[in-house]
Chains A and B, each alone.
Chain A
Amino acid sequence: DVKVTQSSRYLVKRTGEKVFLECVQDMDHENMFWYRQDPGLGLRLIYFSYDVKMKEKGDIPEGYSVSREKKERFSLILESASTNQTSMYLCASSLIAYEQYFGPGTRLTVT
């Protein structure tokens, strides 16, 4: 079975802190994705990566950056956390053109 893991299920950070969310997949997938999910807004794509060191902006990249140094790991970085970045963050991976598999999510609260 495909396994996508995320470093934390729950995280509480203060405004202005630098936050790292990590995602690891064990199926040698080329593509990895970071989404955020908010009530009433659904899933929105922040960034995705189609290969090591390659990244593309999604719909809402502002305030975020990403890093993919190894194929299995995709990190989302909040350079200076703000309260409007309080959300559920979901990581996913896939082979090209195939189904996406999701991690359990990280619920981030910024106070």
Chain B
Amino acid sequence: KQEVTQIPAALSVPEGENLVLNCSFTDSAIYNLQWFRQDPGKGLTSLLLIQSSQREQTSGRLNASLDKSSGRSTLYIAASQPGDSATYLCAVRGSNYQLIWGAGTKLIIKP
């Protein structure tokens, strides 16, 4: 059974730092992996989707990588800003329509 883990559960860094959020999964037979952002009390915003055949995707200051063989993905945030403060979730899609979710990393960027 696929399990998705995100470490750390919470992270606090000063503004301007580059940072990496981690996501690991136990079954490498995935179709894709998606990173989301969630602000308190709000819905989820899709940030990046990486198909299983891809190694990375970039959007602005965000870069997500995927290493299927080791069961790992990272979300790199460059030059962090207070507006980046949110909970970041990763989810993997297997052979059915369902996403398997990590518990999230709560990120706080201190001004």
- Which residues of A are interface residues toward B (Cβ below 8 A)? 4, 31, 33, 42-43, 45, 48, 50, 56, 58, 88, 90, 92, 96-105, 107
Contact = CB atoms under 8 A, between A and B. Distances in A.
A104 B93 contact: no
Interface string B42-60: 1111100100000000000
Interface stretch (B18-26, B61-69, B77-85, B94-102): B94-102
B42 A100 contact: no
Nearest to A104: B43
Contact of A42 (B32, B98, B101): B101
B103 interface: yes
Contacts of B28: none
A92 B49 CA distance: 15
Most buried by B among A33, A92, A99: A99
Contacts, number: 48
Given A43-B101, A56-B97, A58-B98, A102 B43 contact: yes
A75 to B, nearest CB: 17
Interface residues of B, number: 21
A97 B31 contact: yes
Interface of B: 31-32, 34, 36, 41-46, 49, 89, 91, 93, 97-99, 101-104
A42 B45 contact: no
Nearest to B32: A97
27 contacts: A31-B97, A42-B101, A42-B102, A42-B103, A42-B104, A43-B89, A43-B91, A45-B98, A48-B97, A58-B98, A90-B43, A96-B97, A99-B32, A99-B46, A99-B49, A100-B34, A100-B46, A100-B91, A100-B99, A101-B46, A102-B36, A102-B44, A102-B45, A102-B46, A103-B43, A104-B43, A107-B41
A45 B36 CA distance: 16
A65 to B, nearest CB: 19
A42 B90 CA distance: 11
